[in-house]
A and B are shown apart, each in its own frame.
Chain A
Amino acid sequence: MLESILFYSFAVLAVVTALFVIFCRHPVYSVLYLLITMFAIAAVYVMLQAYFVAAIQLIVYAGAILVLFLFVVMMLNLDHEGEESFRVGPSRWFAVPFALAFLCEVIPIIENFGNVQRSNVPMLEGTTEIVGRHLFTRHFLPFEIVSFVLLAAILGAAVLSKRTWR
């Protein structure tokens, strides 16, 4: 019962703040609402016993990525945006019916997964120790490759922001 209450409150919080992110006129408010969405999703991760992923969600998304967004929004200082922050033309009017059609299509498929029951094997909890052991044994090669991706991202961001494009 408590689990249901917690799940529904966090799910509603995530969906409502995600809608605010989409429909807010000013980018700063959108970024701040996205922060709340990230917190709600992290709470859902905790309910799924993925503690390491929840912590990473808070540290990386809420701590790093959204601060980066906030810096860029404040640096660009788009005051003149005002009324016309939404697209004009067909994509504006077809977006919501398209999304509703997508949901109507997908939710019956999801319903088929409902009969998947939790197995009787004791649950693997996603604590840092267990996830780390998996990460450094079975998935060690992707872990090393992803460090190269991060290095490439650092170099790309540095090169892009340093050169003067004239």
Chain B
Amino acid sequence: MISLTHYLVLSAILFAIGVVGVLIRRNAIMILLAVEIILNAANLSFVAFSRFNNSLDGQIFVFFIMTIAAAEVAVGLAILLVLFRSKRTIDTNQIKSLRW
């Protein structure tokens, strides 16, 4: 029988993979992809808790998180396009104008 722990461990592993991705990649698009993995890990634990507590509120939360993720990706990718247009790179090591 699959218990709540299984789903939460899967969610934690996906979260850790996403954090590693944010830390080791230089390409800004890859960082956004890793953030998507992190959001999906959070969604998975929401749905698991919703199922095992017999309440639908977790699934409503997931609906809102997905909406915000879509908005975040739209704006983030537009920012990346503008950045590429002005700096000719999206390598996070070469974008230094906000760095001290």
Contact = CB atoms under 8 A, between A and B. Distances in A.
Interface of A: 3-4, 7, 11, 14-15, 18-19, 21-22, 27, 30-31, 34, 37-38, 41, 44-45, 47-50, 52-53, 56-57, 60-61, 64-65, 68-69, 72-73, 75-76, 78, 81, 84-88, 91-92, 94-96, 98-100, 102-103, 106-107, 110-111, 113-114, 116, 118-119, 121, 123-124, 126, 130-131, 134-135, 139, 142, 146, 149-150, 152-154, 156-157, 160-161, 165-166
Interface in B76-100: 77-82, 84-86, 90-93
A91 B56 CA distance: 39
A98 B75 CA distance: 30
A157 B78 contact: yes
Contact of A165 (B34, B86, B93): B86
Contacts of B92: 87
Contact of B27 (A3, A27, A50, A134): A27
Contacts of A106: 12
Contacts, number: 230
Nearest to A12: B10
A113 B5 contact: yes
Interface residue range, chain B: 35 or more
Given A44-B44, A116-B53, A156-B75, 12 more contacts: A18-B18, A21-B33, A27-B33, A34-B36, A41-B14, A69-B33, A76-B90, A92-B23, A98-B19, A116-B4, A126-B50, A134-B56
Chain A facing B: main interface SS: helix
